[in-house]
Structure 1
Amino acid sequence: MVAAIAPHGSGIPDTSQIRSYLAHGMAVRHSNLDSSLYYNQQALRLARRLGFKTGEARAQVAVANDLYNAGKFVAAGQAYEAAVWLAQRTRLCDVAGKAYNGMGLVGQALGNVQGAIAYFNKARQVYAACLPIHPRNEALLLTNIGNTYIQSGQFAEAEKPLRQAMAGVTAAVDAPTVLNLLDLVGLLQQHQQHLDSAVVTWQRELALANQVGNRRAQSYATANLSTACLQRGQPDAALAYAQQAMRLARQLGNQSQITDNTLVLARALHATRRPGAFDTLSRYVGMLNALVGQTSAEAVAQAQARFNVEGQQARIRALEQQRRIAELENAHRTARNRLLLGGAVLASLLLGLAGLNFHRRRQQRREEKLRSQLAADLHDDVGTLLSQIALQTDLLQEGLAPPDAQQGYLAEVADNSRMAVRQLNDVVWNLDAHNDTVPNLLDRLRDYAHDVLVPTGRDVRFETDVPWENPQLPAPVRRHLYFIYKEALHNILKHAPASATVTVGLHRRGPHLVLEVVNDGPVSSAVAPERNSGHGLRNMQTRAQAMGGSATATAREGAFAVRVQVPVRW
């Protein structure tokens, strides 16, 4: 329930009313997100009505924070951009720093690692120029940089910023930053197979969260401890932590956190052989489907926003052309020049209208193509996995799976769920025009290889030309190369031994971009060059030919190599 605030005209000055709204929003941001958004939106409306730019800037970034916490990433990104503009006009460096940090968080949520790191570093620059300097701002941004690296699987890169953040802040100065930092350090220790250290870190996080009453941190810490207890063979402790995490997530009303904790609870119930495990897992699958649909809608909205910007730029160009024509008319006063000018104006307008109409039709075709591509990718990449998850959970729920195979089925459900999220991230990455560069493609290739090869024990190495003189890359080329690369790694997972070393090369060779994936393990007869009629190799060749290039698969010196060469206008 939203608490009552004195109405406008009650004797409280208007600027004080704005500050009161913002204070109430801050007070309930962790316990009641809807109320926080309501208060901050009220502050923003009142500040705009009064022309109070300082209050508007602070309210704008507060609204953006609430939208981000609600998972509305596209709307949050637009709100953060508006906050940056307002902060620059009012010279509020602290608001600008918060807005750039928020834009980094949005980039992180949408899988744009390079963009997120760039925004976080921009926020660090802004905060460094603010007086007085607050070390906790630097610690917060270093924490976010470390989190971005962890989420992208770059664990070695995450250590340095997290260590710097731990050294720069204390719980007495900024408890929320320390709580977030402890959560991430525990995750990093878990990924590095230091499970005992991770448990100690999360217990410190839980103790501090209990001390300061931070339910969000309590939920994260208990969920992580539940997972750790399962890994350590302590199912009863895992169940207690999982139940506590679920209660906290429901109190917060964070749907994403509720979904994650539902899976943790299902695993704990299964480990303790409780009858509610299958029903809980079924609820998790339904929640996951809803989150996938929401993320898909966000991707479409983001693409639509880019089209709207392009259309707006076209209208601005048309208005500029009309202004120039009007100036030309005023400069020529004679009858003959008026006659000639009238013909020129008419011709220009006709050409302008024809060009604008052509542009609109082309934009419509591009949008339809984008939507069709998005629908196809979601159906092919994510739909199949979700169908498998539904089938597996049905088998478990109906008791058709042998008792000794149920744990394996649950593991498959978890693996398929993670794979569905990864595939969805691929779809969003393919849509984002900010990724149309060679460095972004290279980052994505690294992320995918470390995600699918390294956990299987296979070593992966990258060779590339650094720096790139012209990093721009057409979107179709980027998309086709990435799918060819995934196909090549899929073949390696199927046919190469676990001891294989995979070398990935991305080079510029004259007017061509060359992608090469070499596996130094023994060549399996299933993928030998003389049998290159398989669907995988045919798909690679078809995609390469669509770009005007070529794809080959050859065995050489005990290794198996896939080489793709495509023309690129540098």
Structure 2
Amino acid sequence: MKHCFYFLLIAFQLTLLCRGVLNAQVPKSLDSLEIYVKTHPPIDTNFVRATLRLAYELFTKKAAYQRADSLLQGAETLSIKLDYGRGLSNTYTNMGSLYYLTDRPQEALALYQKSLKSAESYTLHPRIITEKTTDVALALNKLKQYDKAVETSLKVIRMEEQYNIQPRNSRTYEIIGLALKNMNKPRQAIAYFQQRLALMKQSSATPYGLAITEHNIGRCYDDLNQEKEAILHYKTALSFIHGTDYELLRSDILGNIGLALQKDKRFQEAKPYLEQSLAMAIKQGNKEAIAPGYFMMGRFYEELKDYKQAEYYMKKALAMANERGDKAIISEYTQGLADLYGGMKDFQQAYVFQLERNQRMDSTTTVRTNAEVQRMVAKYETEKKEARIKLLQQQARFNQQEAERTRFRTNALLIGAALLLLLGGAVSAWLLNRSKLRRLEEAQKLRKQIAHDLHDEVGSTLSSISMLSGHTDALLRQNQPESAQKTVQKIYTDARQILESIDEIIWTINPGNDSLHRIALRLREYAQPLMEAKGIVLHFSADSSLDDYPVSMEVRRNLYLIGKEAINNLIKYSQATQATIRFELQNDQLMVLIEDNGRGFDAAQVSQRTGQNSMKQRASAMGGTLAVQSTLGQGTRLQLIMNP
């Protein structure tokens, strides 16, 4: 289920069973735990462990969050009274897990940090310290602080190596995998999930944990649109928890199997999986899972063109999303209804929902765009101040050196020193003016470049949006909602184009991207999703030594635009199945190769749409050469050679 958070939320739960919260004196089944807690007095550590076990069973299997929270409050009080450090630390862990499951990650993070602090203050075993640190990493990942989540997970791995902790905590690899998946790097994420599977199979891993990891691998293949591979992993995950009480996880897996089958156009197979997933979520009374379940069913019936059923489920999903106040989900469900009404030819309703969705999106876009522009302006102003300070320092040093020379020459020969001082002053003034002029020219060139890019990439599109907005009002007054809907969609597309253009401009002027290696990575990030969408297998390689070669902003910009143009041509016209992008250093020269096995073209009849003249002009401006070779039916090869 794409929007159910249980894939990420429950991942941390499997190790709670392995954390030593119980011993042989405490029962294990839910019924026997209930009896134990009701009949035994709250006076010892066994009672704390039984309470923690019961709370865990209630909030992971029965979604009885309120009852579990009450039990954990009691466990906290008794642990403090008994000065029971491990019980107190585990109580805070369970509280954090409960808040995590109920979509309150900020509170979960605070409790996980409190659990870690308690474990450290009571000097618990290093294994326990690493487990508590892993919980902190999980919460950071949920809060979308992916860099901190990965950093914290790597810290855990180093601690395990330092203390030689065996077996290793495989959850760290799960968290790194989740972070990479959320950063739209599913292939890298799969490698970490597979490492976790290998570690779990070496130890006494629970079927629950194995199910979660297989499930996450399936989701990564889903992101790569490899549905058959995704379904295989989903069904493997489902087999691990067959016959258990983990209905929330089972509901998520069933929903994802249904979605994958639906994407594969196997509608009759998909329907029972989607229905079972929704029924289980309703049975549990979990609104976080019910709303996505309704939306999935709506999308399913929309594809079958059963618009009445689709409208029923999508409206129920939107109503539940409005109750929760989740802006991102509300925006998505609103767009879904707009698309549905468009398919139903009810353009008035489609326009209403599309307008509502665009208003939500525009607010977010405005804030983000303003922030990017402010950051760019602030950076530019900072660079100007630093240049002025540097110029003043240079002038001060120069004046000091001149004063010392003057005193020396005066002692030697007063008249000669006076003449030399006059000459030195004249030369100094000329050099200083020349230095100032060069810096002014560089600053002016940068300002013109930014202004030119903003005018070309943003100005014309903003003008288009302005005209289209006025045209939309006119169409509505003329009672032409279908034409108005198309105009609104064009405005949305133009707004997205502006964001992408500003992002490229900011990337180009950012001095942190002034190496050949950063350019290579940027082109790979640009090409990968486009080629995957076209079913093209990309082979990418770049010399590791490219990081040692800094380049100017102008070279960086021209090299990136040549690569981008070549990639766009490959995607649009080649009909290739294989493509190669390679950055190599050969005899102190940079060689960039972009080739494919597509249909090729007649090199003697160069089409203007390929932009070859523009690419060659950019290559020449960098002091390089660009060669394009193509043969009909045998693919195209583009090779750029330049001095880095």
* TM-score of the aligned structures, taking structure 1 as reference length: 0.65
TM-aligned CA deviation for residue 492 of structure 1: 5.7
The residue that corresponds to 1:220 in the other structure is: 292
TM-aligned CA deviation for residue 99 of structure 1: 1.7
Matched residue of 2:333: which SS? helix
Q: Distance in 2 between matches of 1:186 and 1:291?
A: 37
On the 8 A contact 1:206/1:222 being kept in 2, the answer is: yes
> What amino acid maps onto 2:625 in structure 1?
S
Q: State yes or no: 1:64 paired with 2:137.
A: yes
On the 8 A contact 2:630/2:637 being kept in 1, the answer is: no
User: Which piece of structure 1 moves more, 468-477 or 29-38?
Assistant: 468-477
Q: 1:286 aligns with which of 362, 365, 382?
A: 362
Q: Distance in 2 between matches of 1:211 and 1:516?
A: 55
Matched residue of 2:295: which SS? helix
Q: State yes or no: 1:540 paired with 2:615.
A: yes
The residue that corresponds to 1:126 in the other structure is: 199
CA deviation vs aligned residue, 1:145-173 (integer Å, no higher than 9, x gap): 22223223444654543443344433725
> What amino acid maps onto 1:245 in structure 2?
A
On the 8 A contact 2:178/2:189 being kept in 1, the answer is: yes
TM-aligned CA deviation for residue 124 of structure 1: 1.6
On the 8 A contact 2:624/2:642 being kept in 1, the answer is: yes
Q: State yes or no: 1:78 paired with 2:160.
A: no
The residue that corresponds to 1:360 in the other structure is: none
On the 8 A contact 2:254/2:274 being kept in 1, the answer is: yes
501 and 54 in structure 1: CA distance in 2 versus 1, 3 angstrom threshold: closer
TM-aligned CA deviation for residue 248 of structure 1: 4.2
Q: Distance in 2 between matches of 1:381 and 1:153?
A: 35
> What amino acid maps onto 1:126 in structure 2?
L
**Residue segments in structure 2 that go unaligned for 5+ positions in a row:** 1-65, 377-446
On the 8 A contact 1:179/1:208 being kept in 2, the answer is: yes
User: Which piece of structure 1 moves more, 414-423 or 96-105?
Assistant: 414-423
117 and 443 in structure 1: CA distance in 2 versus 1, 3 angstrom threshold: farther
TM-aligned CA deviation for residue 106 of structure 1: 0.8
The residue that corresponds to 2:101 in the other structure is: 30
439 and 148 in structure 1: CA distance in 2 versus 1, 3 angstrom threshold: farther
70 and 173 in structure 1: CA distance in 2 versus 1, 3 angstrom threshold: same
Matched residue of 1:96: which SS? coil
TM-aligned CA deviation for residue 58 of structure 1: 3.0
TM-aligned CA deviation for residue 25 of structure 1: 1.9
Q: Distance in 2 between matches of 1:223 and 1:567?
A: 53
Q: Distance in 2 between matches of 1:63 and 1:389?
A: 47
**Residue segments in structure 1 that go unaligned for 5+ positions in a row:** 301-371, 455-459
Q: State yes or no: 1:110 paired with 2:110.
A: no
> What amino acid maps onto 1:516 in structure 2?
E
Matched residue of 1:514: which SS? strand
Q: 1:405 aligns with which of 456, 476, 483?
A: 483
The residue that corresponds to 2:594 in the other structure is: 515
On the 8 A contact 2:472/2:488 being kept in 1, the answer is: no
The residue that corresponds to 1:241 in the other structure is: 313
TM-aligned CA deviation for residue 241 of structure 1: 2.4
Q: State yes or no: 1:504 paired with 2:552.
A: no
Q: Distance in 2 between matches of 1:237 and 1:548?
A: 63
> What amino acid maps onto 2:84 in structure 1?
P
Q: 1:16 aligns with which of 87, 91, 105?
A: 87
TM-aligned CA deviation for residue 176 of structure 1: 4.1
Q: Distance in 2 between matches of 1:86 and 1:448?
A: 40
TM-aligned CA deviation for residue 279 of structure 1: 4.2
Q: Distance in 1 between matches of 2:636 and 2:159?
A: 53
67 and 250 in structure 1: CA distance in 2 versus 1, 3 angstrom threshold: farther
Matched residue of 2:176: which SS? helix
Q: 1:208 aligns with which of 280, 287, 309?
A: 280
The residue that corresponds to 2:339 in the other structure is: 267
User: Which piece of structure 1 moves more, 251-260 or 140-149?
Assistant: 251-260
The residue that corresponds to 1:448 in the other structure is: 530
Q: Distance in 2 between matches of 1:472 and 1:162?
A: 41
The residue that corresponds to 1:488 in the other structure is: 566
The residue that corresponds to 1:180 in the other structure is: 252
CA deviation vs aligned residue, 1:237-296 (integer Å, no higher than 9, x gap): 333323333344456665544443342244346656537414421344136527967998
> What amino acid maps onto 1:514 in structure 2?
L
Aligned-pair identity in percent equals 17
CA deviation vs aligned residue, 1:168-227 (integer Å, no higher than 9, x gap): 433725434433333333333333233444444322221222233443332332222223
TM-aligned CA deviation for residue 26 of structure 1: 1.6
> What amino acid maps onto 1:38 in structure 2?
A
Listed as ranges, the matches of 1:96-495 within 5 Å are 96-130=169-203, 132-155=204-227, 157-170=229-242, 172=244, 174-249=246-321, 256-268=328-340, 273-274=348-349, 276-286=352-362, 289=365, 394=469, 398=473, 400=475, 402-406=480-484, 408-409=486-487, 445-451=527-533, 453=534, 460=536, 474=547, 484-491=562-569
TM-aligned CA deviation for residue 93 of structure 1: 6.5
Q: Distance in 1 between matches of 2:150 and 2:636?
A: 42
TM-aligned CA deviation for residue 104 of structure 1: 0.7
Q: Distance in 2 between matches of 1:428 and 1:192?
A: 39
TM-aligned CA deviation for residue 461 of structure 1: 6.1
Give the alignment's Cα RMSD to 1 decimal: 5.2
TM-aligned CA deviation for residue 20 of structure 1: 1.4
The residue that corresponds to 2:63 in the other structure is: none
Matched residue of 2:101: which SS? coil
Q: Distance in 2 between matches of 1:491 and 1:147?
A: 31
CA deviation vs aligned residue, 1:360-387 (integer Å, no higher than 9, x gap): xxxxxxxxxxxx9xx99x9899979996
On the 8 A contact 2:116/2:132 being kept in 1, the answer is: yes
Q: Distance in 2 between matches of 1:248 and 1:235?
A: 20
